[in-house]
């Protein structure tokens, strides 16, 4: 079964959904994983407090890009509050594979970016500018 999920991940890596940027997004946030060099940016436009349009852009491993692609599909049409409620378990479930401690950071980078943008953070507490 994990082989099917791996193929699904590779398909999202090779042909990501919602790839690109938005002009004048309501929410935009970029962050990186310094351990492996992955970087993800997510742009969101809202209408009536719901996701009207979403795009992501990034560089890095297949897992970080595929996870961000799947996440953008997941949030389409969601309210801001629903987005804030997405958990790491939701991401792990959609990926469908077992992840070790190093790979989990890659898989969750998109979620970290989404949450920071949704909460309006300018940076993570304790990080240097």
Any domain includes 125: no
Instruction: Note whether residue 15 is domain-resident.
Output: yes
pLDDT value at residue 23: 95
- Residue 99: give the domain boundaries: 2-118
Which pLDDT belongs to residue 129?
Answer: 41
The verdict on residue 124 lying in a domain is: no
Total count of domains within the chain: 1
Residue 99: which CATH number? 3.90.1010.10
Beta strands in the chain (DSSP E): 27-33, 38-47, 50-59
Rounded to an integer, what distance in angstroms lies between the CA atom of residue 129 and that of residue 48?
33
Domain membership of residue 112 (yes or no) is yes
80-112 exposure pattern, b = at least 16 Cβ within 10 A, e = fewer: beebeebeeeebbebbebebeeebebbbbbbbb
pTM of the model: 0.89
User: Tell me, what DSSP letter sits at residue 19?
Assistant: B
Crossing angle of helices 62-75 and 88-95, rounded to 10°: 110
The string of pLDDT tens digits covering residues 56-70 is 999 999 999 999 999
Condensed to tens digits (0 to 9), the pLDDT of residues 70-79 reads 999 999 999 9
Distance CA 1, CA 8 (A): 11
Task: Quick: pLDDT tens for 23-38.
Answer: 999 999 999 988 889 9
Give domain status of residue 129, yes or no: no
Average pLDDT of the chain? 90
Of residues 1 and 90, more confidence is placed in: 90
Task: Please check whether residue 40 lies inside any domain of the structure.
Answer: yes
- Mean pLDDT confidence for 5-24: 93
């Amino acid at each position: 079964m994990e082989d099917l999920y791996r193929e699904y991940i590779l398909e999202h890596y090779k042909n990501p959904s919602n790839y690109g940027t938005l002009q004048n997004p309501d929410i935009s946030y970029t962050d990186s994983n310094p351990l492996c060099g992955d970087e993800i940016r997510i742009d969101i436009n809202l209408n009536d407090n719901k996701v009207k349009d979403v795009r992501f852009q990034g560089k890095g491993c297949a897992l970080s890009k595929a996870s961000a692609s799947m996440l953008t599909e997941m949030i389409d049409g969601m309210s801001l509050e629903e987005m804030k409620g997405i958990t790491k378990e939701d991401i792990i479930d959609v990926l469908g594979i077992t992840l070790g401690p190093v790979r989990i950071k890659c898989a969750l980078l998109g979620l970290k970016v989404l949450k920071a943008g949704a909460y309006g953070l300018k940076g993570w507490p304790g990080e240097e500018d």
